[in-house]
Amino acid sequence: MKRTLISALVAGCVGLASFAAAAGTVVVNGSTTVLPAMQKISETFMAKHKDIQVSLSGGGSGHGIKALMDKTTDVAMASRDMKPAEVENVKKNGGEAVRFTVAVDAIVPIVHPKNTVKDLSLQQIRDIYAGRITNWKQVGGPDARITVVSRDSSSGTFETWEELVMKGERVQQRALLQASNGAVLQTVAKNPNAIGYVGLGYITKDIKGLSISGKVASAETALSRDWPLARDLYLFTNGQPAGDVKTLIDYALSPEGQVSVKEVGFVPLPAKK
């Protein structure tokens, strides 16, 4: 069968991969958080299964879930669970949303490396994002106006942030909204006064991750849920997977697939006892 390279559109500002999927092609779409893990998984998967092509693209959790509902993707990547209305939508179209946990993650607040602030409480972070704290000196930092960077509303990471951090409050209108983890990272890396948030696998030397009330984000604190912004990452299919889709899902959840999860900085699933 014809084999092509993965099209991994990491920025997330992309159109949906075409669903003219020939036999031997699995279309995967959605979360830019899950994307690096699935890119690595797909690379090692295709090296092992040379007759199966994976067509991979980002766009955000909401984008992937909508594609699943529209039956234009085989697998939706999501950094949040499906909402009841989304599950019901799939049912109305004669399908069934099936969820697979593929990795564990920690959302980490980030700042520029030159920022002297190292630790914030969840309340302080909420106050910053709600617009009540506007200057870094209010939390022990430099006398500089805070630039708030957030994900856009199609992001599963944004929805998790709203749930775990904002607790029903709205992110201030002045926030710079970004379409992907990578875009948040780049924006914060270029602005000494910015604050943002990304998945654990996106932490690099170009930015600084903050601790929360003395707790540090790590694989251990994510798995134990001691990190207050820990979450699961998901793959969804419309109906029980079969054929090439099942082969890919099974590989992603296997010990070999979980090695790929760890290699890109995410937290692999605990080994089955």
Q: Does residue 188 lie in a domain region?
A: yes
Are 214 and 110 contained in the same domain?
yes
Question: So what's the pLDDT on residue 17?
Answer: 35
What percentage of the chain exceeds 90 in pLDDT?
A: 87
Are 186 and 167 contained in the same domain?
yes
Are 77 and 113 contained in the same domain?
no
Q: Does residue 75 lie in a domain region?
A: yes
Question: So what's the pLDDT on residue 227?
Answer: 98
The domain in which residue 94 lies consists of: 25-104+232-263
Q: Does residue 36 lie in a domain region?
A: yes
Are 219 and 166 contained in the same domain?
yes
Question: So what's the pLDDT on residue 22?
Answer: 53
Question: So what's the pLDDT on residue 24?
Answer: 85
Q: What are 132-182's pLDDT values in tens digits?
A: 999 999 999 999 999 999 999 889 999 999 999 999 999 999 999 999 999
- Yes or no: say if 73 and 67 are a contact pair by the CB < 8 Å rule: yes
Are 113 and 90 contained in the same domain?
no
Are 138 and 171 contained in the same domain?
yes
Nearest to 253 by CA among 75, 120, 130, 53: 75
Are 119 and 214 contained in the same domain?
yes
> pLDDT by residue for the chain (273 residues), tens digit each?
222 233 333 333 333 333 434 568 999 999 999 999 999 999 999 999 999 999 999 989 999 999 999 999 999 999 999 999 999 999 998 899 999 999 999 999 999 999 999 999 999 999 999 999 999 999 999 999 999 999 998 899 999 999 999 999 999 999 999 999 999 999 999 999 999 999 998 999 999 999 999 999 999 999 999 999 999 999 999 999 999 999 999 999 999 999 999 999 899 998 775
Are 140 and 202 contained in the same domain?
yes
What is the tally of structural domains in the chain?
2
Are 122 and 156 contained in the same domain?
yes
Question: So what's the pLDDT on residue 10?
Answer: 35
- CATH number of the domain encompassing residue 52: 3.40.190.10
Are 219 and 250 contained in the same domain?
no
Q: Does residue 14 lie in a domain region?
A: no
Q: Does residue 125 lie in a domain region?
A: yes
Q: What are 1-20's pLDDT values in tens digits?
A: 222 233 333 333 333 333 43
Q: Does residue 4 lie in a domain region?
A: no
